[in-house]
Amino acid sequence: MAIQDIYPTALRLLGRPVLVVGGGPVAARRAKGLLDAGARVTVVAPLACPALTGLADAGLLAWEPRTYRTADVDGVWFVQTATGDAAVDAQVSADAEAQRIWCVNASDHEASAAWTPAVAVVDDVKIAVNAGGDPRRAMALRDAVATALETGDLPLRRQRTTTSAGTVALVGGGPGDTGLITVRGRRLLGQADVVVADRLGPRELLSELAPDVRVIEVGKTPGHHPVPQAEINRILVDEALQGHRVVRLKGGDPYVLGRGGEEAEFCRQHGVEVEVVSGVTSAISVPAAAGIPVTHRGLAKGFSVVTGHEELSEVPARADHTVILLMGVGQLRDSAASLGRAGLPAGTPVGIVENGYLPNQRVTIGTLGTIADQAEAAGVANPAVIVIGDVVRVSPFAPSHFKTADYSTTSPNAPRTASTTTSTTATTKTTQTRVLTP
């Protein structure tokens, strides 16, 4: 049988009787697929494998523990042979052909009246692949197509409008690099009818959306909120109630200082289904882009994330407890003074990472006593993450006199020999990095 002789179609077998002849693992897989399609399955085989007997014991199919008879094909809509005996399979196939019943002959795909494709289901899309009778090739292609749909590399978005209710997905887009959004987030973005977007996060992905996908910009900057949060909440609900799939694309993680909890609560209060997709928060990922871990053996076992200097009185003022300031550039001088008054030494290392993971990423490193002047002189601006504590010493961009010891897990407290690094690694995708030292 040539591939040109195949007419692809999909059978609706809900409630219709079908016959499976054979009791081995192949027959069990085919019976399971037919049950998933809603068919009424009868299995004929002298012996059955545990998978089949389990389905029979559960009352999901009927098992006739005997050899095949020609009359078994009477009144069925579809037949699958999988006995492992070519002669028996050929007889079943011939009997089905005589009654004009479609039959898949597992022993001889060339002589088979029908082929069973390799199948995968992604959302409400079913993928079926035939590959010239080569099942392993078909499975490999099926898996590749399914993965591309799952990751958003192929369009999964509905093109026909439906009467079903709309949904909202709060998607954490990560720190801005398009490769750091989750697979689930990328997939939902590819299905969206409407995207409500922040100014941070993976903005480049917006250019990949279909032309008819509406993008509603609601981005905020420190002290400037052109679209109030109450209006953002209303937009999400209104669009969903019109039957749209809405993605709220946020930077970082929706539940880490992202007001995602408020948006989810508002949607639920108005009867809108909402899904929250966690993202890589900038509080942890952006320091990592500069080689700064928020915890490190021998340096810090915990960390606090704050957004304003008034909150600093509640965090431990110790160099071995990392403090991460988000949206803190404007209050940096006051924050440094607050930590100093709380007892944090003026020589505590501080690192500022601007535009983490973006081409214009910049790293500024100093101490608690000098960092405000350094930042002002360098024109440091948001978006930036400020890291305060001894973990800054681990950064490859830290000055040599900061690196007094190697705090690795293999040779703790051995002398460190690394010199000051002023260039970036490929993993940070940074083209401009400035290291400022006191």
Amino acid at 126: K
In angstroms, the CA 135 to CA 116 distance is 9
Share of the chain above pLDDT 90, in %: 56
**Mean pLDDT in residue range 79-94:** 94
- CA torsion sign for 35, 37, 39, 44 is negative
Task: List helix spans (H) across 58-196.
Answer: 86-98, 135-150, 183-191
Please provide the average confidence, as pLDDT, over all residues in the chain: 85
pLDDT score of 225: 66
**Tokens read off for 89:** 């399979």
pLDDT score of 308: 67
Reported confidence tier of residue 298, pLDDT bands at 50, 70, 90? confident
pLDDT score of 392: 93
pLDDT score of 411: 39
CATH architecture for residues 167-280: 3-Layer(aba) Sandwich (3.40)
Sheet holding 102-105, edge to edge: 62-64, 40-44, 17-21, 78-81, 102-105
CA distances from 214 to 106, 149, 200, 243, 246 (A): 49, 21, 18, 14, 10
* H/E stretch holding 239: helix 229-241
**Residue 123 pLDDT greater than 60, yes or no:** yes
Q: How many residues are given for the chain?
A: 438
Of these ranges, 3-17, 142-156, 243-257, 392-406, the one predicted with the greatest mean pLDDT is 243-257
Closest CA to 24 of 16, 15, 32: 32
Angle between helices 25-36 and 50-57 (to 10 degrees): 40
Amino acid at 91: Q
Enter the CATH code of domain 3-116.
Answer: 3.40.50.720
Q: Mind listing the pLDDT tens digit for each residue in 51-71?
A: 999 999 999 999 999 999 999
| Residue-range domain boundaries for the chain | 3-116, 118-150, 167-280, 284-428
More confident residue, 239 or 211: 239
pLDDT score of 148: 81
**Tokens read off for 146:** 């399914």
**Residue 418 pLDDT greater than 50, yes or no:** no
Reported confidence tier of residue 222, pLDDT bands at 50, 70, 90? low
Strands 167-172 and 245-250: parallel
Reported confidence tier of residue 430, pLDDT bands at 50, 70, 90? very low
pLDDT score of 114: 85
**Mean pLDDT in residue range 87-93:** 94
pLDDT score of 407: 44
Peptide bond between residue 211 and the one before it cis (omega within 30 degrees of 0): no
**Residue 224 pLDDT greater than 90, yes or no:** no
Q: Mind listing the pLDDT tens digit for each residue in 345-359?
A: 999 999 999 998 888
**Phi then psi for 17, rounded to 5 degrees?**
-75, 135
- Residue 116 DSSP class: P
Active site residues per annotation: 198, 220
Enter the CATH code of domain 284-428.
Answer: 3.30.950.10
More confident residue, 161 or 71: 71
**Residue 409 pLDDT greater than 50, yes or no:** no
**Residue 399 pLDDT greater than 80, yes or no:** yes
**Residue 226 pLDDT greater than 80, yes or no:** yes
